[in-house]
Structures are given as structure tokens and as C-alpha cells.
Structure 1
């Protein structure tokens, strides 16, 4: 009897397992990834320089069946790729158009460079590339992405004009192009974006008028810190969140055009992944955006409603198999118990530890793995309305990982804080909660060990870590030919990557503070990367090994303002009066950001024309920001004060060891004097009474005849007299001997903006405008 009973039990178990196999067979057959998608993702893997991502391979494989990290599928087609803060480098490559049904692509907060491919999949609905190193222009092929609803390209190095590609992009909900180097007017086709509710353009060099936006159903519009001019269309003033400071607008309001049929603000009928709705926050005096629900996160694309995508054939198969196996499964559960099911569930959980489908789990994982929200700058120039800057959670700084520091670090991007603070996003309110996947990069053992050694020092940095060997290779072993310059903190070298991209490598002197303690150096790196502004040199990475401490920054091909004014006579000719005023304005915006917007506020301590770098378009990028801790202690601080005073940049209070923000204002006034006169701040070759520029210039700033004689001869008298007088007045206030009489940098920015606006009106009447070009 026992043997018969045992045989019967074995037969029942066999039938149970057979049922499982029959049920699993259709899903297994459908899990095989479309060959075109496999080829596309293999190409992407190679273009990204073969990162350490679980499951990903350079050839073949089954992304859907093997659950590659960050890849979500619908049946056999790859629909979503989410790899946020995954320490990715390289480029996106040219094979993306091979994806057959890719709808969402999120590579936010990585170090991907090169240009944005012109071969993006036409099925794309959501594109998030914010917080990377993309250069070049926005591709005109965007016009073919007719299903696109959300596009975030902010916090990159994009330049050129916004292409006129929006004629057929009527489903766009959210566009974020902030914090790039974009220039030129807004394209006319933007007026066709009939469903656009959020447009972020701040911190660029865009110009022209805003009339193309006046009929759009916008709820959030940020055009701060650009070169927009002309009257503000009256309709734009009714936008709930309209931020417009730091531009050249006329005070008058443009009259509304004749009534027309307004564009329909309704959302597209198809499901889409989009931003959550804005919500005013009374706490900061400015419109902040609504925190996401506790169990879901609507800010990023993930596939939803997979049941809706099942074909009718598959439903029939599953129904038949389910009915057939129901009785057998019931018997198996009774006889074999729940242990088999528990083991099966445990094995499934262990096989996919890196993917979390519910937002509740994803949010918990984000605190230790990655930031989940796209950076999106929103600055308000007015003090009462300035939002605090945000910083992400774990693993990215520019050029190598995520822009992240500890709980005290903040950044001008909407990212989730490591301490779980509620963050807000600017998105439409009609978006349903969607699921979220967190991508966690895998590190080599030695890299992981290196990072764990600094746990006791506070938050770990996620800035890209370069090795000394790689930097030696890129700088030709720090050869003299690659030496750019030498300062009080060390030497700066030019580094050239195999693709031709250039970086500036600062090799810190071993005697500088924070050099020996790696924890303090990592904290310094985090604080430098927290500083994010269009007119401030961007951190790309760092190196800390073999007692070497190096910082890697973006490279500006036109060198420094000092060289342009005092050494390179050929390029100095291009510095017309209008360009000089614009340079002063952009440098002032950088200091305004450090003093009044950055949280906590930061003092530069070493502001001079040699630290104002100029790119190909003669745009300002202030260097040495965030390095004040290396200057503020001991002999280095004393040397810094002595050098600044000796070279004519130091405020009078330097003699008493005092350095405040008003000292930066004084140094800025000296740089303005250099722009005005073409003279060095200190020139020992001149007569004794003319060696120090400030001492020589101050008595003449309010003498009209003397002022005209002070102007740089290379301008050949080509400047407006009133503009010259206003420029001299700003200088006079900045170089006051008493700190309390010097203005705030926000006041300087406003004065220079008003000056340029007046000149714009004058030039517009003459059909001439030189502020936006190289001349």
C-alpha cells in the first residue's frame, strides 16, 4: 500500500510540474527578443564603451528573456531603457533607429558625450538625456518623432540654435532645454505645440522675442538668464509660473493679437509618460512643484498596462491552459505543499535583485543607488522667489557619474535627496502614477573597495574618477607642451581624449590644504560639482590616487580674458564695446549665482581676468569656483591675499585678513576697468602713478573728458557715450574703499542688463545689434 500511495503521489507531482511547463511554454517562446532590438542594444552597449551592467553583452543575448538591467519589454520588443546615474560614458551611437518599438529612453545623470544622434527611434515618446556631456546642436531629425511628449536635454553642453522642428510635434507636453549654451531666437514652429504645458529655457544665450509662445497652454515658463528682448506678450503674464529675470525685456507689454481660435490644451488621447502638475509652495515664496505620491512616481517613463498589450490569441491560449491546469494545480498545492511555491518565488527574487517595479521599492532603493528625477533648473533672480538648489542622491557628478553630495549639498536640479526629502517636479496633473525601475551600475572590486574606504568621511562622491595612468596618457605625461598655466594651487594641463575632446586638468600642489585627507578632498569635489551655472566652468571628473589630487574641468579654446585683452592683439580686435559689456554681464551673473543663489553661498576669493575663460563664441566661463577652501587657510590664504593685492585685484580690507563677498565685488570692478581701458590691473612698466589701475582710474571715472581718454584705444572711439558713462558708474561703485558701499552682484547684473537693454532699443531703431554675436 505504501508503494502504491507513493507512486500515486509521484504521478500527481509529475502532472503538476507538467502543468507548470505547459503554462510557461508560451511565455518563454514570447520572451525571445526581436532580433532587430538585439542588434540595436548590442550597438548601444558598444557605443557606451561596454559599461558594467548585469546581463548586457556586446553581441547576441536576450534582453527581454534574460531581464537585462534597466530594460523593459512588451512581449518580444524592447519598449523602455532606463539607466539613471549608472556611471555611463561613451556616446549613444548611430544604431538607435534599429529599435522597433522603443518608447522611452532615460539616460539622465551620466557622462555620455558626443552629439545627440540624428537616428533616434521614430516610436520614441519620452526622451531624458539631462545631466550629461552632450555637445553640438539639437538634431533636426527630432521633427520625425511625432509621438514625442516629454523631452529633457537640460544640463548639457549643447550649443547653436533651437532647430525649427516642432511643426508636427503636437503631442509635446514638457520641454526642458535649460542650462546649455543655446543661442538665437525661438523657432516659429514652437507656436504649433498646442499641448505644451512646461517649457524651461533658463541659463542659455537665447535672444529675440517671446511672441511665438503667447498662444500656448503653458503653466510653467522659465526664460531666466538669457538675452530675450522686446515687449513681453500680455498673454504670457497670466502663466502661473513665469520666470523671466536676467533678460533685456522692454518695460512695455506687447498688445494681444486679434482673437483667434485658441489651441486645444487637452492632453493627447493616447497614454503617455509625462510630468506631474505644478503646485505652488508657500514655503519659499515661489511656485514649487508637487511631491510625488508615496507609492508611485509619475516623473519617468516605464511601460504600463501590459495586459492591454496582450494579443487576443495569447489570451485564448492562456485561458485554455489555465482551465486545463486549474484542477491539477489545486491537487499539487494540496499534496506538495507550499514549499515549492515559496522556493520558486525566492529564486525569482534573487535572480532580479537590480530591478524594482513598484515605486515604493524604487524610492527606497534610490536613497542608496541612484537619483530618479531629471535635472531641471529653475532659478528666480528675485531674492524672495529664489528656489533652493537641489542635489541628487547617490552617484553622479558631471563627467563621470551623478551630481551628488550629501544631505547638505544642493543643486539646481529636481532630484531625490539621499535623506528622502520630498522633492517636487513640474508636470501636468492628469498623469496617472506609473512604475519605476532603478538602474544600478556594477563596479569592479577594487573600485568598490576604494569607495568604501572613505565612508567615515561622510557622503561618497559620484564624480567620474580618472586614473593617474589615463591622465598621463591624455596629457602626454603632463608634458610642458600641454601646460596651460601655473597658479598658487598647482599647474593646469591640457588633456586630449582619443575622440579629440579637450579637458583642462588641474594638478593640485601637495602643500595645498585637504591634499592629504582623501575624505576632505572628496567633499571638496562634491561641493565644486554642486556649483552649476552656464557661466561657470564645469567639473568633469577628479583623480585621487598615489597621493595625487587632480581636478578635471571643461576646456575653453579661446583662453582667458586676460590673454585676450593683454596678449593676443589679433583676437582683441573682436572685443567690440558691446561684446565687452556682455562679457561683464555674464561674469557678473556667475558671481551673482555664487553669492546669492547658490546654497550655501560661496565666495570666489580669486576673481580676476585670468580666471575668466572664453569659449568659441566668446562666452564667459568663470574658473576656480569652489576652490576657496584650498585658499582660505594658512600660508596659501596669506599668499592669495598678497598676490591679489600685489596684482591690483585685492580690496583694501585684505590688509586686515578680511575676505567677504564684497571683496569679490571689488575684484569684479577691477576686471571691468580692464575691459574699459584695455590695461592690466597692475603694470610695472608704466609710470609709478599709473602702475595700479584702480588708483589711476578712480579720479577720472566721473570726468567726461578724462573718461573718454581712458577708453581702450583698440575700440577706436566706437562706443556709445551714455553706455560708457553708465559702465564707469558701475565700476565706481564696485571699487569703493568701504565694503558697505559696494553693491550686491544682483544689483550689478540689473544695472548691466538695463544698459544692454537701452542699447538694444537704440540698435533696433538703427537695424544693428551686436550683443549676441562675437563682435
Structure 2
């Protein structure tokens, strides 16, 4: 027993640090006291250890390391926003009470940061959260795409009111526990993937106010718990049959492209909104027991025994055959006209382009006027009417079936090659000036925020002031494509851009190509962007009279026409530049006298590959961009949007507007052919200081530019003629 007491006392001494316990006991009473003290100490240690184990998760943190790593990565992806407690590395979210973080024991089960001014992206590590069930990052400024890897434990996922692009990920199909999903008011595009097979618990789904297109996926029929479905303000097409057997009580499909009859079952939904779709008036009911020729009058009579029905059938059949014959004949006539005009245009194409090139190389701006005199005027001078629809008619009476001009070939024709050889090669006198990076740092105050003018998809623009006081604009290129571009390729691009010399294009003054830095130096435009003049700067806005706006449209059109035309004549060492690809009011600058100067001409090779979704989200994208196609006719469409801005004073995309008015083109297109609606949508600041004739002509040109099919949009050269005629037209 004494030996056991001594071992216990020794062990207690090691734990408690009491070196005096190592001495030998002197008597039995002391040994008894020591044994009692030792047992008490061991008991206390055991109690403290037990409480430490029980309270460790709450007192000492111990947030699940997987959650800590996941939230650290999310913080980095969001761009290190000023959120209380959040850290880039480590930390203890559950113990320290990080802003917006909800925990159960040691696990993060929710992140709620609604309207927290967040930016950045979501990153690709959300799936690392061990047991999170709620993510609410609504009403922020988060961009990028929705991650393809999402936590399988999610039940509520709210990302509405952000700037997300790309498509809805297929990985949603794996979220079997999901009950609420809100992705509305973003810039999502593409089709809705067939990803609803396992989402039987989904109760609320909101995909409204995006750029989604295509039909509804068949797997939506599996949403057996759905009660609220919002799909409004998209470009969705097809029929609604897939929804008719779902337990929906709130369905909004307004402002889409759904067609066909509305299923009868949907009409019984308590809260059903379907305006703004090209539905026909027929309703789908149960499988019909009668033939299409039957009517209520003949429900009890078999068709074969009714002479009236038989006669009706024969008469309708003969009418159908007659209409088929007429339509077939018209198609043959139109095809013949199409072939004839195609051949005729091809024969004249080289001559017309050659004339344009000669006029352009002489740098004589009135070349457009001389060209117009050689061609028939786009309007009949006697009646001043367009060859297309007049305002007030719901549909165009006739549409020009002329095919688009033939695509510009990378290899010029023989006549064009001779012309290209006659062009003067760049010399030291006409080639842009080379700036050093140190001099540009000096002129821009080290590219300070005070000198920052704006930022676009190609990089930031800074105001620079030379020692003599002259102001310039420096674009610091920051696209990923530049990293793979050699100095020779960049100099080739500089040469190409320098050749785009026109009074309506921002002139290239110089460039910088040092230390892997690529910069363009342009002329400075005193009155900034047309976008700001129309929507932000009230002082300049007041100066934008109707006449000024028409002239702005004309000048902008000339700049695109010239830059597009000239691109096919750049020397063979460089890739030919065909289209602007980023035409919008923010790229139209105004000088001291409010003359138009279009920027970013010739920079299409630098535009990043993912720009299409950004262009569509901004409201300037043509319909064919959804299929990845961009031609010079897509520039015509974007130009039509700018004309709409000039007409209405509205932004191409404005989320602050009422539902159905977010996208200017979608709201305005149906109003262009009704004189009353057209007058109401004109910018109120114009105070009706325009003629109805001029207004209707302007609207007709817009309508032509915004044709859904690219081949029906006129080339820029024709639009220049129409607008020039407007400027000379007497009211």
C-alpha cells in the first residue's frame, strides 16, 4: 500500500508541478494526508479534463477545419470584403462570431450576407463546406459564374440581385435536399439544362430577369413539391406542357417568347401571369374526342353521316390547296429575285469597295456625299416616305429581301491587292509616337485613382497631362490575350489601329510596349462618354437637342462604316479586323463641341473570349451572339440600341426600371410602329422639339437595325445614306 501511495503521489507531482511530493513520507499520518491530497488532486484533474473535453468546441473554437478552409477560400474569391471577423487564413468563425456566419456546434451551417456590398466571385471551393444548408448572398455585386461544385447539403441557395454570368450549372441536379433557389436579376444566359430530376423537394424557384433562352427542360415535370415558379423577363421559348401537372400556386412567365396554346390546367393556378408572350388563343384540354373539323353543333353526329361536315371539309381542303399553290409560287418568285440580286451585288461589290477605299485614303470626309450622289436616294423625294413600314402600322408592308453584302475575304481580290500595294507604308512621320512607361507614369501621376477615367473589358483608362498642358487618354491594356501576344504582334496591331484615321474616330497618338506593359495613348475628349451625357450629366444632357442627336447617330454610323470597311485592306502581315465588337454608348466620346469620337476601333483582337455574355448582359448584344456568331451585322444591331438610347434617353439595361422594362430593346421594339406609343417613349427632355415626320423616320431606321435575322439588317453604308437624308429633310 505505501508503494502504491508513493506512485500516486509521484504521478500527481508530475501533473501539478509539486516537486515537494517527491520526498519520502516521514510517518503514517503524513502518508495518510498525502494520500488524501493525491486523491483530491487526481479527482480535480479528471473533472477539469472532462469539462475541457465537453466544452472544447464552444470555449476553444475548434470550428471544423474543412469549414475554416472553405470560408477562407470564399473570402479570397470575394476579394477580401470588409466583413467583421473574416480572415484569409485560419480563424475560428463559430467561436469569434464572424459576420453573417451561422453555426451548429462546430459546423458552419449558414452564410447570410444579404445586401453587404460584396464583389468578386464565388470561387470554386463551396463544396468544401461540410454541412452547410443555407447560402444567401442576395443583392450584392458578385460576378463570374455559378460554381459547378456546390455543397450537396444545401437547402436554400439565394444569389439574386448580383452580376453573375454564364449558364446555370448542371451540378444543381445533385442537390437533392434543395428547397429554395433564387437566381433572379442576374446576367445568366444560355438554356436551362435538364437538371431537375432529383429536385423533388424544391418548393420555390426564381430564375426571372436573366438572359435565359430555349425551351423548358422536360425534367421540370419532376418538381413534385414546387409551389412558386418565376421565369419572367427572359428569352424562353416553346410550350408550357411540362408545367401543367405541377402543384404550382404562383406562376409568372411574363415577357418571354412562349408560344402555342396555354394548357387549361395552368389557367386554374391562383396567381398566374403570362403577359408579353406570343401565345395563340387556343387552350390545351384533355385529348380531344372530336376531329378538328367537328364543332359543338355536331357533337352527337358522326362526321361520315353529316353532309354539312363533309361539304365543309371539302371546301376547306380546296382552300388549303389553293393557298399552298399561291405560297409556293411566291416562294419561287422570291428565290428568283434573291438569286438575281445576289449575283448583281457580287458583280458590283469590288467596284464599290474600290471607290470607298480611294476616297478613304484621300481622307476626304465628303466622300460619303459623293458616293450618295452616285446612288439612288434611299427615300423618294416626292413623298418623303421610307420603302419600309410607316409608323402607325403594326407590321412592315414589305421587307427588303436583298441578301447582306458578301463577307469580306481575308485574301483581297486582284484589284484590291493592287490598291493595297499603292497604300503608303508607315513611316516615322505618320506612325504613332512611342512613349516610355516612366513618362506615362509621370503624365498620369503614377496611374493614380485621381487620374482614373474609367474601366472597361480591355482595361483601365487614365487622364494624362503632358508638360505643355495637353491632355491625352492612356488605355492600360489588361486582357489575358496580351500575355500570349508577342511584341511583333502588338506592333502589328498598333500599325492597324493607326490607319483608322477619321474625324469620327478617336485618334491614336502613341503607344507603349515596355516591361510586358501594353498601352495605347489616345486623343482626349473633353465631354466624356455619350452614356454619361445621356444618363448622368444633366448639364450636357440639356444640350442634346433632336438635331444634335440625329447628327450624333450619323457620325457614329460613319465611324463604324469606315473602320469596318478599312479593316479588309490592312497589310498582309496582320490579321484583318472586321468588326468593332464592343459598340455601345460608353464607347462613344464627345469633344468640346459635342462632336462624336468612337473609341476602341480596331481592338477586336484583344477582346476576351467571354465578352459575349457581358455584351448581352449590358443590353447591346445581338440575338445571334447566343450561338457564338458575331459579324459586322451584329454591330448594326448594337448601333440600333444606341439609336434607341438617343431616342428615349433610357439606358440599354436598367435594373431600376419596372419589370419588363429592364432591357430597352425588349420594351421599345413593339412601340416603334405606333405613333402614339412612339411619341410617349421619346426622351421627355426634348420637350417635343421635333417633327413627327423626322421622328417616324428615325424609328424606322432603328427598326431595320434591330431585325432579329442578321441578313435583314442594312449595311452601315445604307444607314449613313438614310441618316444623311434625314439631316437634309425639310419638316
Common topology (TM > 0.5): no
Question: Could you say which structure has the larger radius of gyration?
Answer: 2
TM-score (norm 1): 0.40
Structure number having the greater helix percentage: 2
